Every structure is written in C-alpha cells, then in structure tokens.
Chain A
Amino acid sequence: MAEPVKEIKGRLIIPYRWSYGRSLSLFFEHTRVEKKIYGARCTKCKRVLVPPVVVCGRCFAPTEEEWVEVADRGELIAWTTVYYPFPGQPTQPPYTYGYVLLDGANTKFPHLIMEIEPEKLKPGMRMEAVWNEDRKGDLYDIKYFRPEQK
C-alpha cells in the first residue's frame, strides 16, 4: 500500500490596515515634512516618550499636549546582528539593528544600524539618524542610524 497522506499545505494571508491615530500621524508628519523627531512629556514624571504615545506606562498618566522636539542623534544602548533567515522576513539578513536613546528622550528608539562593522559597535557610542530623501510618513523616513559624523 502506498504511504498515507500525512499533511496538507496551506497559507494564511491577512491584509491589515493599522491606524496611526492622531499622535503617530502627527509624529510621522514631522518626520516626513521637517525631518524632525518629536516626543511627548508625561504629565506626571515629566519624562519624554518617543514616539509620543498618549500614556506613560509607568505613571498611567496622559502625556502633555504640547510636544517636545528631541534630537535625531543619541547613544547606542544595545544592538544585534541578525543572521537567521525565515520566510516572510521583513528585512533580509544579515542586518544590524538596535536601540538608540535619542538626546532628550527617556525611551529607546529601535532602528537599523549601518555604515559600521558590527564588531566596532560599543554601548554608549554616539549615533545619528540618516534621513531618507524619499519620505513617506513611516519609520523609514529615517533610513537608518550610523555613528555620529564629527
């Protein structure tokens, strides 16, 4: 007798459309039009959240209506170079990404890190954003971060 069939193949394709909401719409309007990064100050602890979400998690307090501009540069906190491939991966490995603590912010901002050998990265290293020429109002308005140019 032939080998019985043991599985069927399938695929799940689900289109989504995730709302930015007013906050992120405005955040990406600033990145797209002005190449500026804004954060929002917590009304209670006064720390600055980037992107400017409406609530400070620690305090469960709303953030201030008036935003503050933060720098497009800051300190590298942590990074990883990804080698592992899988189907549907949004960025093709190998690539390096990490968290940058932007000057003036109290939350870490994730992005790609380029123009440096990963072995040369150090915590606390100064990084700067490289802006995209063709900005569409999404995270890739910033192309990536690289070591700060003197």
Chain B
Amino acid sequence: MRRVAVVGTGYPKHKSRWEEEGLTGLVYLAATEALEDAGLEPADIEAVVYGSSPELLTGINHPEKWCSEASFSVGKPQFRIHTGGTVGASTGIAAFYFVASGMFDIVLAVTGDKNSESPVQYGLSTVYDPIIGRQFACGAPSAVALQALEYMYKFGATEEHGAKIAVKNRINALRNPKAHLHIEGINLEMVRNSPMIASPIRLLDACPASDGAAAMIFVSEEVAKKLSAPKAWVNGVSAVTEGVMYVDRDMTDPIALKKAAKTAYTQAGVTNPFKEIDVAELYEAFSYQEMIWYEGLGFCERGEGMKLIDEGSTFMKGIDYGFETPRAGELPVNPSGGVLSSNNIGSTAMIRQIEASMQVRDKAGEHQVDGARVALAHGWGGGIQFHTVMILGREPA
C-alpha cells in the first residue's frame, strides 16, 4: 500500500459563538490555514473530503454543497462523510484512502460546524431511536451518563477520577490558544461544585458546544518528499463499529475500539501501546470516558483506567494540576485540552488527528510533548459505537 503523510493542518480558534464568520467562512479559514501549513496552493488540491455532524443539528442538509467554494472543491472530486461524533476522524481516514488507493496524490479533508446555531442537545436527541428511547433522551450527556455510571459501579471509579480528568484537560487547554475553554484557576473543587446535568455527569465533566472547523492535507509519499513541511506519517488506520441494542452489550467494554486499536497497532508495528505511544489525543466528550478508552486502547488492563489517573501517568510533565501526579509524562493524553475543552462535533475527531500530527511534526508549541515520535488519535460516535484509531509517526512505519 502507498504511504500517506499529513503535511498540513489547520483549525481556527474554537469559541461559543463565531459571530464574524458563518459556516462557510470557518471552513475557509481552516482549509486556508492547512494549505499554508503545507506550503501548497488551493489549485494543488486534487480532491476534497468533507465531513460534518447530523443535519438536524445545523438545519442544513448536504452542507458540503453550500461549502463547495469555501472548501476549494469546485471542479474537483468531493463527497461527504457523516458518522456523527466520529465524523472528523472518519473524514481524515477517507482522505487517507483517497491517497492510499492511488487515485489521488493531494487531498484536503475538511470539517466544520457551528453548534451555536441550534440547540445542540435537541439535535443529538434525534440520534436516539424514535420508537424506543428518544422519549427521554437528553442528547449526548444522558447516553454517556449511563456508561459512566456502569463503569463506576463495576470498577469502583469515583467522581474524583472524573474531576481529575476534567481538571487535567482544562489545565492543558490553557497552553493551547485554539481551545474554546480557557478556565483560569480550574480545580477539583470547581468541578465538584458545578451543576449536575445528567448524573453522574456535572457541567464541568462535559464538553462545551463550540463553533469551529478543521482541515488536514493528506499526500502521497512522492509528493511528501518534495515538500519542506514536516510530515506526520499515517502508519495505522482503523474504523470499527459495534451496534447499539445488541445482546449482552457492556457499555464499559468498548469491543469496537479494542478491535480498531489492534488493527491500527498491527499496521504501525506497535506491540506495547503504553510504552511505544508518546502522546494520545482521545475523544473524551465526558471526563469519565477517558478511562474507558485507556482500557479499550490497551494502555492498561480492563478496570485499571483509574490507576493511570491516580498515578498521573497521562498528565503532562512539569505542570501543576493541584494534586499529585507522580508518573506524569509517561503517556500524556490530550495535551491540547481534548474534547472537554472544544467540541463543535463535526471537527472534533479530526482535531484529535490534527493534534496528534502536530505533536510528531513538532508543531504543538506550548503543549508540545518533547520528542514525540508516535502519536495516537481516537474518535467515537453514534450510539457510543463507532471508533476510529489513527497512529501518526515521525517516520513512516
């Protein structure tokens, strides 16, 4: 298979309300930034993959059509991917396949959404089955609340673990100028005292609703060699799904994630993920999920996700989080601030891939993990069932 590299990425700062730009404007900002980063011109783009969140969120069907000009896809091959929360990652993965197939050499993947333009949880409640379940849906929080509660009871995780993750990612976000939430002085007390939105999830255990966009440029090895921009090699890619209401489903055992991780690790030659991965960007829309994903990704054994929090292994080195993190820096997770600090849904899983590639391209600035060579990006979507894993490397596998 052809080798594929990420040579440019971009995303405008996320915020509650982008008043000065509409959806097309945000998409344009992201695409332009990614092109500049890659040292390419719009005319160099051979094909475009567009991704966005459910239409019932934005009220716009086929937003890729409206954003044709803004995404530089007039006169070019283009189509839209939509896999819910996963979509940003699914879009990056589709762009990878565009190049790996040999059909194209330079492909733009672009996503965007303005969550300020509608009541997001109303839109997300329409993901629930209309016949059995939608009656008491409260968007994403209520679905994940059930998962979090099951995890707490099964393995003894506490509100403290959730709060530590919420604090970790918010403090990390202070070093990422593009993150939506910059909560100065965030601490465990603030999380504990924030209002309950769907028990056991409190407001500060939850992601914000953001306006934003994101773009990435994927190129073939041949093109990559000609560009001076640093590269992030796509060494492993997988997108696996499970069902929703299937028999013996255990929400604390993400079987699709396990399979996706295994596939991506095999491709990238990763045998001990905790040791070999230098930094990871996970899709923790709600704090508790981060521990469940650690386990699904094989960073630790099942039921031991909270140990990584207790010991501080997934915290950044040299940052004071207000509590002990003796093993900080072993495998930093979400140095960007994660989904808890920015979430426009359409771009969110792509930003995991962008941040992971920025780390191996040495471009993460203040939140750079020194010497990161192997980075992992994860996404989830649908009824907590679609999982994507991408392994990015400083060198090709």
Chain A residues lying within 8 Å of B137, measured Cβ to Cβ, are 90
Whether the Cβ atoms of B149 and A78 lie closer than 8 Å is yes
A 1-38 to B, binary, CB cutoff 8 A, 1 in contact else 0: 00000110010100010101000100000000000000
- Bound-state CA distance A10–B130 (Å) is 24
User: Within 8 Å of chain A (Cβ to Cβ): is B1?
Assistant: no
* Given A51-B132, A91-B135, A91-B136, A80-B142 contact (CB < 8 Å): yes
**Among A77, A84, A93, A139, which residue has its beta carbon within 8 angstroms of that of B135?**
A139
Whether the Cβ atoms of A47 and B135 lie closer than 8 Å is no
User: Which one of A24, A80, A81 has the highest number of Cβ atoms from chain B below 10 Å of its Cβ?
Assistant: A80
Chain A residues lying within 8 Å of B132, measured Cβ to Cβ, are 51, 110, 139
User: Within 8 Å of chain B (Cβ to Cβ): is A56?
Assistant: yes
B 245-274 to A, binary, CB cutoff 8 A, 1 in contact else 0: 111110100000000000000000000000
Whether the Cβ atoms of A81 and B246 lie closer than 8 Å is no
Interface size class of B (residues with CB under 8 A): 35 or more
Whether the Cβ atoms of B145 and A80 lie closer than 8 Å is yes
- Bound-state CA distance A111–B197 (Å) is 18
Whether the Cβ atoms of A89 and B125 lie closer than 8 Å is yes
- Bound-state CA distance A79–B141 (Å) is 12
Question: Which of chain A's residues has its CB closest to B250's CB?
Answer: A77
User: Within 8 Å of chain A (Cβ to Cβ): is B42?
Assistant: no
Whether the Cβ atoms of A79 and B149 lie closer than 8 Å is yes
User: Within 8 Å of chain A (Cβ to Cβ): is B243?
Assistant: yes
Chain A residues lying within 8 Å of B245, measured Cβ to Cβ, are 49, 53, 57, 107-108
* Given A24-B131, A87-B119, A107-B249 contact (CB < 8 Å): yes
Whether the Cβ atoms of A97 and B142 lie closer than 8 Å is yes
- Bound-state CA distance A38–B138 (Å) is 27
B 219-247 to A, binary, CB cutoff 8 A, 1 in contact else 0: 00000000000000000000000110111
Residues of A within 8 A of B (CB): 6-7, 10, 12, 16, 18, 20, 24, 42, 45, 47-49, 51, 53, 56-58, 77-84, 86-91, 93, 95, 97-99, 106-108, 110-112, 118, 123, 138-140
Could you pull out 27 A-B pairs where Cβ atoms are within 8 angstroms? A10-B59, A16-B130, A18-B130, A24-B131, A42-B247, A57-B242, A57-B245, A58-B243, A78-B147, A78-B153, A79-B149, A80-B141, A80-B199, A81-B199, A82-B198, A83-B197, A84-B139, A84-B141, A88-B122, A89-B121, A89-B138, A90-B125, A90-B135, A93-B138, A110-B132, A112-B136, A139-B135
